[in-house]
């Protein structure tokens, strides 16, 4: 009898059930269990894998959304750096500035040293005697200069003071010498006279050089004071106002 399509004989089903039952008994007796994964174990693995895929997609989106350091637009250029990069850049600028500052100091010091050396060289050249140019020889037909005649010396001296002791006249002599008037101490009889070394015309006559010198001696002598503690003569409160001219040979 032919088998109809799509149908299974009853004895075949029975034989399959027996065969399956005998296999399970054999497996139980040998201690080997069927290792078919359960649906509960497969599901978490699938869910974990999907979560990992979603996390990777999010990371990729965040990385792609991170702004670039330099962004160029049609109308502007934008710079976007982290604070670490900005600090490093600032430190680099400070270091460059310090290098240029030190270089400028060294250059200015070198320049000033060169300038000082040039100045010192110029000063040495100024100190060194320069050779004089040879003077041209005088022409033989140059007329001789006339000899200046020496004017005759006056016949009067001016007597500044007189005293019994020459030692009292010595401070006066030094006083006038310090003011540019040279004097001498001479003895006349029993007294000593302090007279001018230079001779003049009559000091008692106005308009002469002797008259001018006598007035100068009187003006200077009014301030004379003997050395303190010397007990020399003071010649009055306003000394040497009685200076006079004396004619000499």
Please tell me what DSSP assigns to residue 200: B
Helices assigned H by DSSP within 66-201: 83-127, 170-178
* pLDDT at residue 82, rounded to an integer: 74
The helix (H) or strand (E) run that includes residue 56 is helix 39-65
Taking the C-alpha atoms of residue 171 and residue 221, their distance in angstroms, rounded to an integer, is 12
* pLDDT at residue 199, rounded to an integer: 94
Taking the C-alpha atoms of residue 164 and residue 45, their distance in angstroms, rounded to an integer, is 148
* pLDDT at residue 185, rounded to an integer: 95
**Which mean pLDDT values do the consecutive 10-residue runs of the chain (249 residues) have?**
51 68 63 49 51 57 59 74 80 90 80 64 53 50 51 84 94 95 94 95 93 95 91 92 91
């Amino acid at each position: 009898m032919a088998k109809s399509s799509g149908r299974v004989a009853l004895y075949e089903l029975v034989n399959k059930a027996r065969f399956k039952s005998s296999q399970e008994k054999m497996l139980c007796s040998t201690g080997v269990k069927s290792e078919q994964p359960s649906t509960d174990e497969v599901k978490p693995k699938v869910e974990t894998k999907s979560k990992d895929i979603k996390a990777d997609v999010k990371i990729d989106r965040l990385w792609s959304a991170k702004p670039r350091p330099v962004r160029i637009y049609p109308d502007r250029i934008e710079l976007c750096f982290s604070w670490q990069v900005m600090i490093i850049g600032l430190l680099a600028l400070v270091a460059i500035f310090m290098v240029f500052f030190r270089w400028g100091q060294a250059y200015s010091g070198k320049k000033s040293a060169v300038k000082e050396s040039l100045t010192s060289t110029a000063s040495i050249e100024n100190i060194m005697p320069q050779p004089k140019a040879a003077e041209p020889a005088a022409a033989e037909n140059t007329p001789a200069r006339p000899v200046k005649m020496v004017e005759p010396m006056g016949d009067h001296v001016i007597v500044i003071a007189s005293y019994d002791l020459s030692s009292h006249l010595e401070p006066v002599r030094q006083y006038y010498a310090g003011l540019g008037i040279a004097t001498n101490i001479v003895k006349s009889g029993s007294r000593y006279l302090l007279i001018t070394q230079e001779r003049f015309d009559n000091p008692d006559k106005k308009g002469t050089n002797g008259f001018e010198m006598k007035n100068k001696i009187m003006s200077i002598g009014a301030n004379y004071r003997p050395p303190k503690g010397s007990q020399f003569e003071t010649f009055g409160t306003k000394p040497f106002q009685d200076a006079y001219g004396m004619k000499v040979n």
